[in-house]
Chains A and B, each alone.
Chain A
C-alpha cells in the first residue's frame, strides 16, 4: 500500500516537474509547479515529517508561488512570447542535464542498501521536537538567517522602488 503511494507520488512529481520545464506558458508552469509541490508534501507525510509537509505547503504553494503568479500577472507575461532559443543550445542543455542525471543515478544506485537498524522514532517530525532542536542546538543559524532576511528585504526595496525624481 505505502509502496504504491510512493510510486504514485513519485510519478506525479516527476511528471509535473517535466511539465514545468516544457510548458510554453509561464502561468501553466506555475500551476504545474504547485502540483509538484503538493506531491512532494505527500512524500514528506510518508516520511513522517508532518510539520515539514505543512510548512512546505504554506511557504511554497502559499507564499513563493503566489509571488511568482503575482509578478507574472503584474508584468502581463502570461502570453507565450518566448522566442525560440536556437535548437543547438537546447539540445546541448538537454544533453548536459541528461548526462548529469545518468551519472548521478549510476553512482548513487551503487550505495550499500543497509536498512536503518536502530529503533525508528516517529516523533522527530513533530513541531514540539523540531522547535526544541531549532531553538537550542540551532539557535545561532536561526539568528543568522534573520540577517539574511534583513538583507533580502532591504535589497528588494532598493531594486523594485522607482527612483523619486524619474517618476
Chain B
C-alpha cells in the first residue's frame, strides 16, 4: 500500500516541476521516488498482507513482480532524457505519467478483486495510449497512439463482459469467493462462468499481445518512440502476465481442462507467428515487436502448469526477458539516433565504434534467444520444465523449435556489429551513467544465467 502512495506522491511532485522551476531534477526525483517505493515494497516480503476489505493482497508474488516493474521503469527514466532530446517540453508531465502508470502495474499484480484488476489495467493502458503519442508531430507516433487506443478500448470491452458474466455466475468480484464457487461447481458445466472465463481470456490475450489478438502490436511498437516501446514491451507485458497468471491460477485452476486447450492453441500460434514473421522484418523495432509476441507465446506455457512452479517460472522469465529486452531497445535507440536507420545494418561495425556497446548487444541478444550462461536460458528452462511436469510435452517440443528459429534473427545485429564494416567511423559516446546502467543490466543477465537461485522462490 505504501508503494502505491509513494509512487503517487512522486507523480504529483513531478507535476509541480514546471511551476516551481525544478524541471531539470524531475528525472532524479522520479528515480528517488521509485527507489523509495522499491524499498517499501521489499519490506512486504513474506508478510502476505491483505488491504481494504480484500481489495489488494501484498504477497511474495506481488512484491516480486512489483519490484521487477519498478526497476525497469527506473532504468527507463534514466534513459528518458537522452531519448526525447528536443521533444522534452513536457518532461515533468511525461515522467509523472510514467511513474503513475507503474501504480497501475502494481495494482495489476496485487489485486484480489476484479474491480481492482479493471482499474489497474485501465491506469496502465491509458498511460500507454498517451505515451505512444508523445511525438506529436510524427505521423507514425500518431498512428500508434490511435491504433493502440482503439484496440485497447475494444479489448477492455471484452474484459468487462467477461468480468460481468463471472459476476453473474458467482455474485461477487472477490477472487476468493470466485475461487470457492469455481471449486464447488467444477464438475457441472456452467455456461455463464465458462463464457465469462473465455471473454476475460480474450481481453487479457489482447493486452499481452498474443496471436490472434496481436495485430496492433507491430504498428504500435514501431510507431511509438523507442524508449516508450521498451516500456510497453517490458513493464506492460510483465504486468499483464502478472495479472493473467494471478487470476487464472487463483480462480480458474479447478476448471483448467476447459481453458487449457485455448491457451495451448494460442501459445502455438503466437510462437510461430511471432518468430516466423520476425524473420522477415527489416525494421529492427518491428522485428523486436514480433519477437515480443513470440515471448508472450512462451510465457503462456506457464499458465498451464498445475502448481506454483508456473509462478516461479513466469517470474524468472519476466526478469530475464525484461532486462534483456530493455537493454536491446535502449541500444536500438542509440544506434538509431547515431546512424539514422531503423534496420539491422545500422549495427554494422559497432565493435569499432564502441566496444562496450557491442558486447552488451551480444549479451542481450544471446539472452533473448536463450543461449546457456545467460538469464534467458534458465528462463526458458524453467518455463519448459513447468509445462513438461504438467504433461504438455508436444507443446514444449514446438516451443524448443521456435527458440531455434529465434536464434537466427537475434544473431543478425550481433553479426552485423562484429563482422561487418561500418559505413561511418564515428565513435558512439555515452554518458557514464548510461554505460554503467547498461553494464549493470548485462552483468545481471550473466549472473542470473550462472546462479539462477538468486531469484527467490515465491
Please encode chain A, from 105 to 146, with 1 for each CB lying within 8 Å of some chain B CB and 0 for all others. Answer: 001101100000000000000000000000011111100110
What residue of chain B has the Cβ atom nearest to residue A137's Cβ? B53
Chain B's nearest CB lies how many Å from the CB of A45?
20
Task: State the Cβ distance, B106 to closest chain A Cβ, in Å.
Answer: 10
Q: Is A164 an interface residue (CB 8 A)?
A: yes
* B119-A141 in contact (CB<8A): yes
Q: Tell me, yes or no, whether A152 is within 8 Å of chain B by CB.
A: yes
Which residue in chain B gives the minimum CB-CB distance to A138? B115
Query: Is A158 a contact partner of B97 (Cβ separation < 8 A)?
Result: yes
Asked whether B51 lies within 8 Å of A140 as measured between CB atoms, the reply is yes
Contact A158 B123 (CB under 8 A): no
Stretch at the interface among B41-49, B124-132, B248-256, B392-400: B124-132
Verify A155–B130 contact, CB threshold 8 A.
yes
**Which residue on B lies nearest to A157, using beta carbons?**
B93
Q: Give the Cβ gap from B44 to chain A, nearest Cβ, in Å.
A: 16
Is the CB–CB distance between A140 and B55 below 8 Å? Answer: yes
* Chain A residues, CB < 8 A from B130: 151, 154-155, 158-159
Does the CB pair B136–A163 fall under 8 Å?
A: yes
The digit string for A46-77, where 1 denotes a CB below 8 A from any CB of B, is: 00000000000000000000000000000000
User: Interface readout for B220-262 with A: 1 if CB under 8 Å, 0 if not?
Assistant: 0000000000000000000000000000000000000000000
- Inter-chain contacts of B8 with A (CB < 8 A): 147, 150
- Which residue of A is nearest B7, CB measured? A147
| Chain A CB within 8 A of B100 CB | yes
- Do B116 and A144 touch across chains, with their CB atoms under 8 A apart? yes
When distances are taken between beta carbons in the complex, the residues of chain B under 8 Å from A159 are 130, 133, 136, 145
B270 touches A (CB below 8 Å): no
Residues of B within 8 A of A144 (CB): 4, 103, 107, 116, 119-120, 123
Check if A22 is an interface residue, CB within 8 A of chain B: no
Residues of chain B from 165 to 215 with CB closer than 8 A to chain A in the complex: 165, 190-192, 194-195
Q: Is B74 an interface residue (CB 8 A)?
A: no
Bound-state Cα–Cα, A104 to B196, Å? 11
Interface residues on B, range: 35 or more
Inter-subunit contact B126/A155 (CB<8 Å): yes
Total interface residues in chain A, CB < 8 Å: 26
Q: Please tell me if A148 contacts chain B, counting CB pairs below 8 Å.
A: yes
State the main secondary structure of chain B at its contact with A: helix
Contact with A along B1-42 (1 / 0, CB 8 A): 000100010011001000000000000000000000000000
B89 within 8 A of A: yes
Contact A141 B55 (CB under 8 A): yes
Complex Cα spacing A157 to B222, Å? 24
In the assembled complex, the CB of A132 is this many whole angstroms from the nearest CB of chain B, namely: 13
The answer to whether A139 and B52 touch across the interface, beta carbons within 8 angstroms, is yes
Task: Give min CB distance, B123 to chain A, whole Å.
Answer: 5
Contact B195 A148 (CB under 8 A): no
Do the beta carbons of B100 and A158 come within 8 Å of each other? no
- Could you say which residues of chain B place their CB within 8 Å of the CB of A157? 93
| A107-B126 Cα distance, complex, nearest whole Å | 32
Distance of A1 Cα from B409 Cα, bound (Å): 67
Report the bound CA distance from A157 to B136 in whole Å: 12
Chain A residues whose CB sits within 8 angstroms of the CB of B116 once the complex forms: 140-141, 144
Contact yes or no, B89 A110, CB < 8 A: no
Cβ contacts under 8 Å, A111 to chain B: 190-192
Closest to B199 in A: A104
| Distance between A1 CB and nearest chain B CB, rounded to angstroms | 26
Q: Is B62 located at the chain interface by the 8 A CB criterion?
A: no
Chain A residue at minimum C-beta to C-beta distance from B11: A150
Q: Does B367 contact A (CB under 8 A)?
A: no
In the complex, residue of chain A having the shortest beta-carbon distance to the beta carbon of B53: A137
Which residues of chain B are within 8 angstroms of A137 by Cβ–Cβ distance?
53
Q: In whole Å, how far is A150's beta carbon from the nearest beta carbon of chain B? A: 6
Contact B52 A158 (CB under 8 A): no
6 cross-chain CB contacts under 8 A = A138-B115, A147-B100, A148-B122, A151-B100, A154-B96, A158-B134
Complex A-B, nearest 10 residue pairs according to Cβ-Cβ distance, in ascending order: A155-B130, A140-B52, A140-B55, A148-B123, A158-B90, A110-B191, A151-B100, A111-B192, A144-B119, A137-B53
Interface residues in chain A, defined as those with a beta carbon under 8 Å from any beta carbon in chain B: 104, 107-108, 110-111, 136-141, 144-145, 147-148, 150-152, 154-155, 157-159, 163-164, 166
